Amino acid sequence: MNTERMVPMHGEESSAALSPKTMMSRFAILLLVSIGVGAAGGATVLEAHQATAVGVFLAIIMGTLFFWGFRLAIAFLGLAVLICTNSLSIAQFVQSSALEVILFLVGMMIVVGALRDLGFFTWVVQLIVSMPNISGRKFIAVTAVASALLACAVDEVTSIIFISTLIFQVCDRLKLNPTPYILIAVLATNVGSAGTMMGNPVGIYIGTKGGLTFGDFMLWSFPLMLVALGVTVLFLLYFYRKELRQFDVNLQERLSRNLSLAPVVDVPYRRGLALLIFTILAIASHHQLETLLGLGRNSVLLVAPLVCAGLVMILRPDRARHYVEREVDWWTLLFFMLLFAIAGTLEHTHVDRVMADYFTSVCGGSPMLLIPFILATSAIGSAFVDNVIFVAAFCPVIEQLSVSVKAFPLWWALLFGACIGGNITMIGSTANIVALGMLEKKAPHQMGFFAWLKVGALSALLAGGVVWIGLVVTSPFMPDRVSRVGFEQLAGNFDGKEVEISAVYGSPATAPDEFEVVMSDTLAFRLDPEKGGSPVRLVAVVPSAWIGKSGIQPGESGVFRGRLYSGRTPDQESVLYVSEISGVK
């Protein structure tokens, strides 16, 4: 996560090294494209505030591509434009800046710094080096899996730093080019970062926006990640089979001279392992603790790393200031906070509804079509743009789509697309950039863009295909959360979605014959909006006995819950098969 300190090749120095002419030309392109797209949107389907929000967000995206070192300055200016044009209020800024996510990352960064101090990562490296009967395939398979699992437990950047150190050490002794081994490890790391909400900043952001728990990740995301990881590792073992055979040859030659692969040292690891286990258990038990204590969803999840970080700072007071000042990447976290707020403008100005309507027009509101569409779009976008930026823009769209479609598969498609898409190009993820920065200092032959693209795109395609199939197969078994909808949202494409709607018990009606949902001894009546004025006609179908139990009478309002089906034609009523009536007044 501390990418600015570790990778100057992609930090402020890279922007500062640009010539004035290059900077001016890039800045002109940034302004022309962002203003042009915003103006074109305003002249067609967007309102003025929506066009401003789109233009500023596009400027942020292009700013990270053209001026990586100045991305925070561009975010500052973009936020000022949104506030001064009344596209974003201060209250909306505070609401959208995802401070809970920022604090979660602060806590995890402090914990990771303590783990580094306590020798935990060195111990993991020593375990790999001391494997019995080591071979090229065994070494790289274990290294890849360890890199992925380590990313799940801490984060992708910390994982790739320590695994890369191990690879350089082994390749130096065997006189091998470390490039293919580094590439295998970083591709596995990106896939592994989708396994838990701790592996990547997009994981905790998606978890927060989607209301997903640690248990949800372990039940639905982690097993799918393991399958995708297995396919990725098998492909890479085949792709680099020649290099692995050379590994075995050089290894046998070294062992024949009674030389070890790497020195094995005794590392005190127990305190670091205990800290990691305590942190994971605290995060994993958050849902049960929230239920027990009557707290809001994900409250304990977001403060658990802060509790662990606080304990670390109490137990190691001499290192506390170092952890806060040096281990926490404040530059990146501040950028994330502004980015989340600017992305929130897309929600406040209802650009997300425009995008969701477009997605629905393309995919028809079917999860079987939306899953591959979101997976592919987020993967391709994250290959060229920081995946946090892409996810921040897409989360409001997923929230809108989830009003009429089961949400879980869409969130997982976004998560895996953002993480796996980082494998496509060498700039697709922070882990890629960190690994390449380390490789520049070690390897005489550098990795070219198209050389990476060849193996990265193929591995991403295979992993993405596995995830697509996995989500399609498991989607029917995923829970469907109730959507709270209003009459203005009934124009969407509903097909049995569980919803709640506040409405008035209206006049008697007849349910359309096209809906093949049989309910015996039922009563059908119209549901009218409490404030009137909706062009959408809604018919409720309720078991007759429930009306008496609920106590609702014609003309009274209540909250109606059930499965909603949109009309098959624009002139046909939507039908709500009611399962519960509450809040009668």
Q: Write the pLDDT tens digit of every residue in 545-569.
A: 766 666 778 888 888 899 888 877 7
Q: What is the DSSP letter of 199?
A: S
Position 86 confidence tier, pLDDT thresholds 50, 70, 90: confident
Among 220-229, 250-259, 492-501, 519-528, the least confident range: 519-528
* 3-state DSSP helix/strand/coil % of the chain, to nearest 5: 70, 10, 25
> For the ranges 43-57, 61-75, 456-470, 504-518, which has the lowest average pLDDT?
504-518
- The amino acid occupying position 133 is N
More confident residue, 314 or 26: 314
Number of Cβ within 10 Å of residue 73's Cβ equals 13
Q: Confidence class of residue 512 from pLDDT cuts 50, 70 and 90?
A: low
Q: Closest by alpha carbon to 158, among 184, 186, 195, 126?
A: 186
**For the residues 92-114, what does the mean pLDDT come to?**
90
Average pLDDT of 454-466? Answer: 96
Q: Please report the pLDDT score of residue 444 as a whole number.
A: 63
- On whether the CB atoms of residues 136 and 251 are closer than 8 A, the answer is yes
Instruction: Please count the other Cβ atoms lying within 10 Å of the Cβ belonging to residue 381.
Output: 21
With a cut of 80, say whether residue 239 has pLDDT above it: yes
Interaxial angle between packed helices 407-420 and 449-474, expressed in degrees from 0 to 180 and rounded to the nearest 10: 160
d(CA 330, CA 498): 42
Q: What is the distance between the alpha carbons of residues 476 and 577, in angstroms, rounded to a whole number?
A: 20
Task: Say how far apart CA 252 and CA 248 lie, in whole Å.
Answer: 6
pLDDT at 366 over 80: no
> Is 74 in a helix, a strand, or coil?
helix
What are the angstrom distances between the C-alpha of 41 and each of 44, 414, 571, 582?
A: 5, 25, 30, 42
pTM (predicted TM-score): 0.83
pLDDT at 221 over 90: yes
- Residue 147: what pLDDT? 93
Q: What does the alpha-carbon distance between residue 82 and residue 342 come to, in Å, rounded to a whole number?
A: 8
Return d(Cα 98, Cα 208) in angstroms, integer: 9
Report percent pLDDT > 70 for the chain: 90
Strand-pair partners of 497 = 564
* 3-class state of residue 429 by DSSP: coil
Number of H helices, E strands in the chain: 27, 6
131 or 457, which is more confident: 457
- Identify the band that residue 8 occupies on the pLDDT scale cut at 50, 70 and 90: very low
**Which tokens hold the place of 422?**
């980082």
The β-bridge relationship of strands 495-508 and 557-565 is antiparallel
Place of tokens 């949800």: 216
Burial class (CB in 10 A: 0-12, 13-18, 19+), 267: middle
Split at pLDDT 50, 70, 90, the class of 6 is very low
- 538-571 in b/e burial notation, b at 16+ Cβ within 10 A? bbbbbeeeebeebebeeeebbebbbbbbbbeeee
pLDDT of residue 2: 40
Distance CA(401)–CA(483), nearest Å, equals: 11
User: Averaged over 482-494, what is the pLDDT?
Assistant: 80
Per-domain residue ranges for the chain?
Answer: 481-580
Task: For residue 264, give the 3-state DSSP assignment.
Answer: coil
Q: Are 177 and 171 in contact (CB under 8 A)?
A: yes
Q: Using the 8-state DSSP alphabet, how is residue 88 labeled?
A: S
CA distance 203 to 184: 22
Query: Could you report the per-residue pLDDT of 16-69, keeping only the tens digit for each?
Result: 567 788 888 888 888 898 889 888 888 888 888 888 888 888 888 787 777 777
Query: How buried is residue 242: exposed, middle or buried, by Cβ count under 10 Å (0-12/13-18/19+)?
Result: exposed
Distance CA 170, CA 252 (A): 13
- Nearest partner of 461 among 383, 366, 362, judged by Cα: 383
- Amino acid in the structure at residue 262: A
- Contact assessment for residue 246 and residue 283, using Cβ atoms and an 8 Å cutoff: no
Does residue 7 have a pLDDT over 50? Answer: no
**pLDDT confidence tier of residue 238, bands split at 50, 70 and 90:** very high
Q: Please state, rounded to an integer, the average pLDDT across all residues of the chain.
A: 85
At residue 527, what are phi and psi to the nearest 5 degrees? -110, 125
| pLDDT for 10 beyond 60 | no
- Compute CA distances 150 → 18, 142, 161, 190, 191, whole Å: 36, 12, 11, 11, 12
pLDDT for res 426? 83
Higher pLDDT, 213 or 343: 213
* Residue 154 CB partners (closer than 8 Å, separation 6+): 108, 111, 112, 115, 198, 276
As a whole number, mean pLDDT of residues 368-380 equals 92
Say what the pLDDT of residue 264 is: 67
β-bridge partners, 484: 500
Helix ranges (DSSP H) in 349-386:
351-363, 367-384
Closest CA to 262 of 253, 251, 273: 251
